[in-house]
Structure 1
């Protein structure tokens, strides 16, 4: 598909495919393009579809980390032994490349200049020696610190004495530079000290991110940042662009405990932020427990299934020197790894739960008509489970189904596939060859832009229904807005973004959907300024045509965006509940997933925190696994209405009534905007039904 760029002195004019509007790029960006291309005439034929040239994004890290097996008891010989076993097991050939030292390598000592000092009786030659050994095997080396003054080894000593001063606070730039100079390629920054000190996670990790970037610029060695603040302060709202990955939950296994099915599911369930994961930025549900004592082979496979469909980092944590061939082969399954490392970089989402505990997850893969599927049976008995093409955003046409553990095709099927799944187990499949459900393309248009132009210069060939925003000229922000984006239902959609980036490095833009939390999107090089490509994100839209997607950047280093293509994922469809009196939506504050978070009113934006699925079991489900809940099964006026893990209780069941009221099955009371208030942040409670407008809700 031909692309057009904003250039000097030549008129650009094309028709809009579907209503959209644009603010032309700022003068700084125009100058940058002119320098790279010169002033050329790009009057071309109107494109009719977004290019199929998907640009691979950086994949989630794969490797091994020391904590799950060794806790703080690590030294040169421990790590060297694991490196040798890592290589002997064939893990590098399967795609694993990081060897990450966790807590225990440092006891908090510094020299008079503030540089970290090392016990060379444990680390002969210092930390650069172990990094060099890791590199000698063709691998990458990772290291660990804390965001606070005192690290986890001070607050929770595990095999070593409490170590004050083992954090990087006050030394962020100094420590990041030292790590890079030692030869480390990856740094995990924990949160024990930050948590105790009450630090603001977003500003703290931004400072650490800036320090890592500065170290990279100084040494030329990229330093991948792993944010490890356990999901506190909602890092999925701000982690993209700041770090390659961020932890979404607490440790999957605490020191001294054995792996468990429940802990695995807990971390999987809290890793539910598909709109945050894209273009090389990843939710991190913590390290793998595959191969550790206490997990069966079936549990190991399910662990891999769930992490792979999530597109999560794959960081093994078992003792590689004693690993069985069976465990090694599970870690190395090439077809499961391919799903995890899919170059589209999206997170899988729950697309069905036909009965309680029988859950279907689907992941959109690169290419067309390709999906990965996990059928997860959480119940205590074997069950037949079905995946439907329509839930995955595919048409009801013949598709090939493949089992990724038998590594064999099971056949071609027209609309769905059913298989028996053992109790507390899962099946992983791919569905390929089907046709994508109908999508809609929205194209950006601008014309007459000149260096230093004014807002009047930003015009559209046919901007029916669009809105011209902002202005063009020196100092203006680069902003591109797609208006009147339509969705048949509220829920998660896949958006392919067509762009050109002929530079040698990725460029970024901030994406905001409606009034939701913004996220930074990365646009890798496409190869040249005449080669188009796409990257993908998942967004949550509201039903109707009132959705707006805005891309902006204050920098001149913005990619040339051309069009977006919006694809449905019907299995994620939900409903917004809008208060009749307030015209505001039933909302969970700030995308919080913590049990006990009270529901509130907020401006309707169609976000995942406002998209509710009403199930056949009378549950109102948000995020795919949190139920609207009458707190502690309360039955009195003023009982808080909160979110909680779905458990089947009557206090989590609701009657959605024809008169617009929503009544709790257990209490018989109405969902109520407290005290008839209408402002953002108004809390939602149970109250005796009285017919007031603050107890009536419109579904969209």
Structure 2
């Protein structure tokens, strides 16, 4: 039945509407039991937060052992995980990576295990790990061939070790053996040119079918290295998904360059929420090539990102220093925070002096990383206002030293060593937000008129009820951006409301936030959203004068060299640029609008590239609406004067035409 009432009202107006409805004797139930009046439902506030599934903690075999694994290796590492105190600190997964299976199947297509390597078979492995209080992880490939066929390491090439053609069969086998987690690689899928999204969604469907047979569920780890732009579609398809290439290849020495690269490529805040996680790859802590300070930096980066922490060092031989770094409780608490969000960059006043902030559970709680990517020690400042806190005094704690460093006024300044970071927690006063109540009978409503004073990443708390005994699912979509699947844990009853949080990208002005049911899942009862700015993420859209479309990087691509295009304005992170004091236009926090190859000729492509302080990455915004590249003096131009979605952005001689005129909104 169509609803005659508006789908939302601002919190200020909510009490008035409730009073009018009560006086009129209307049953404003919002789809809930008629005994529960609308005014009994809470507004979305942080004190009602419910904890979500944290990212996995554990150990994985690849970085140290490559393909040379057997039952004895796994027992040794599991025993060390327990005896070292890592298990007590929360590291509870032991994950077998590539090399455990040699690719044979029996006449019925079931996996045949080499029992000289795995006495008693794989069930015996899972039973042993469970007996030690741990969870068991296993590995496969989405294609016909696994990675060990294309990239053999310590064992010969292994044919036919992928799961293609046996998706449900293999997943049932893993579940019956007692495994809890499966990493699904994509070497075979890549060679066969399988579509990443379609393939992993087929695997997820097979997993649901297998679970219906066995009654067990696996944590699904999607490992296609971000090649299919996982951050757009993987939440809910998998529980975690890789966002970049391997952090270390077989035979390499660990270094901080790859660590920082994977960190940068893994920041996709709208995708990480409610127990779904961007995966920056396994840890290199304790491996050859990194000193103690670099190991602490590694942990700090992964913790502020809220990434899975899967150690890859040899646990049986690690030093006490390595163990202490891996088990530092306050660092782990940041990574495992029950709100389940990712840290985002909120400031870079000076090139390569970057400030990241992660919203933590509770009120006014933040983790802050001051990252100095220069070769000299530097004074760095975090401003409370950038974090979404008021300018009232806040208390600050140095996480690694586990020392309170006092209360500060509007921010905190400290010295950060060269090529290092300082990790802090901040307890301050939460800034004001706007709450929008659902007044319809829809379980998954649409909130229109959600306003933002500036484009940027916002903290959105979603108040809901789930009276069932299992997680319920719904999607959320802002404007025309990708729809993300959310997980809503049980709240205890259909009239008990709790809050989960997401980070959403909003456009300046009016936005639409739409919830929708997920086919096959009972929807939660969404009641309200509270929207709060994180001002350090704010930026502008570059809006063309010809079609009211925005400069955009298609499908949220982050690949260097991707050409900018015009697209319908949606407020997405791929359309939000920060103007820096260095005359850059920065998108995604670390990427610059760039004249390709430093070109200065008409037709030069305008592309995405890592910010490097080059002149071809500097732009002047002129009073006549044109934007000129400082290296060439040419104008940012919609090619050929076209206005359609997908029109490419180039440099061209300035001519004053509308396809070279832009509004920064």
TM-score using structure 1 length: 0.90
Partner of 2:590: 625
Partner of 1:127: 122
Partner of 1:495: 460
2:331 and 2:41 map into 1 onto residues whose CA distance is 40
1:383 and 1:671 map into 2 onto residues whose CA distance is 35
- Pairing of 1:442-521 with structure 2 (within 5 A): 442-446=436-440, 479-521=444-486
Q: Does 1:684 align with 2:655?
A: no
2:238 and 2:73 map into 1 onto residues whose CA distance is 28
2:341 and 2:70 map into 1 onto residues whose CA distance is 37
For the 8 Å contact 2:46–2:362, the answer to whether it is kept is: no
Displacement of 1:218: 2.2
Partner of 1:174: 169
1:283 and 1:14 map into 2 onto residues whose CA distance is 32
Q: Does 1:438 align with 2:432?
A: yes
Q: Does 1:589 align with 2:583?
A: no
- The DSSP-based 3-state class of the residue aligned with 2:296 is helix
Displacement of 1:18: 5.9
RMSD over aligned CA atoms reads 2.1
1:503 and 1:42 map into 2 onto residues whose CA distance is 21
- For structure 1, the 5+ residue unaligned runs are 1-5, 22-32, 450-471, 473-477
Distance 1:279 1:49, change over 3 A: closer
- The DSSP-based 3-state class of the residue aligned with 2:47 is coil
Q: Does 1:109 align with 2:114?
A: no
For the 8 Å contact 1:12–1:43, the answer to whether it is kept is: no
Displacement of 1:16: 4.9
Distance 1:117 1:51, change over 3 A: same
Residue of structure 2 aligned with 1:550, choices 496, 503, 514: 514
Cα shift readout 1:210-248 (whole Å, capped 9, x = no counterpart): 222222232222211000000011011001111110000
Partner of 2:24: none
For the 8 Å contact 1:12–1:42, the answer to whether it is kept is: no
Displacement of 1:171: 0.4
Cα shift readout 1:176-224 (whole Å, capped 9, x = no counterpart): 0001111110000001000111101111101111222222232222211
For the 8 Å contact 1:51–1:533, the answer to whether it is kept is: no
1:426 and 1:647 map into 2 onto residues whose CA distance is 20
2:41 and 2:556 map into 1 onto residues whose CA distance is 39
Distance 1:243 1:46, change over 3 A: closer
Number of residues of Structure 1 aligned to a counterpart in Structure 2:
649
- Pairing of 1:219-618 with structure 2 (within 5 A): 219-432=214-427, 434-446=428-440, 479-544=444-509, 546-553=510-517, 555=519, 557-618=522-583
For the 8 Å contact 2:444–2:524, the answer to whether it is kept is: no
Displacement of 1:445: 0.5
Displacement of 1:554: 5.4
For the 8 Å contact 1:18–1:442, the answer to whether it is kept is: no
- The DSSP-based 3-state class of the residue aligned with 2:316 is helix
Displacement of 1:19: 7.9
Cα shift readout 1:35-74 (whole Å, capped 9, x = no counterpart): xx86535354575663621010000000000000111111
Displacement of 1:170: 0.4
TM-score using structure 2 length: 0.95
2:661 and 2:13 map into 1 onto residues whose CA distance is 33
1:43 and 1:698 map into 2 onto residues whose CA distance is 42
Displacement of 1:414: 1.0
Q: Does 1:217 align with 2:182?
A: no
Displacement of 1:281: 0.3
- The DSSP-based 3-state class of the residue aligned with 1:353 is strand
Partner of 1:697: 662
Cα shift readout 1:367-402 (whole Å, capped 9, x = no counterpart): 000000000000001001001101000011111100
Distance 1:507 1:292, change over 3 A: same
Distance 1:43 1:122, change over 3 A: closer
Cα shift readout 1:572-591 (whole Å, capped 9, x = no counterpart): 00100001112100000000
- For structure 2, the 5+ residue unaligned runs are 18-29
Displacement of 1:695: 0.5
Cα shift readout 1:89-131 (whole Å, capped 9, x = no counterpart): 1111111100000000011111111011111111111111111
Q: Which structure has the higher relative contact order (CA within 8 Å, separation 6+)?
A: 1
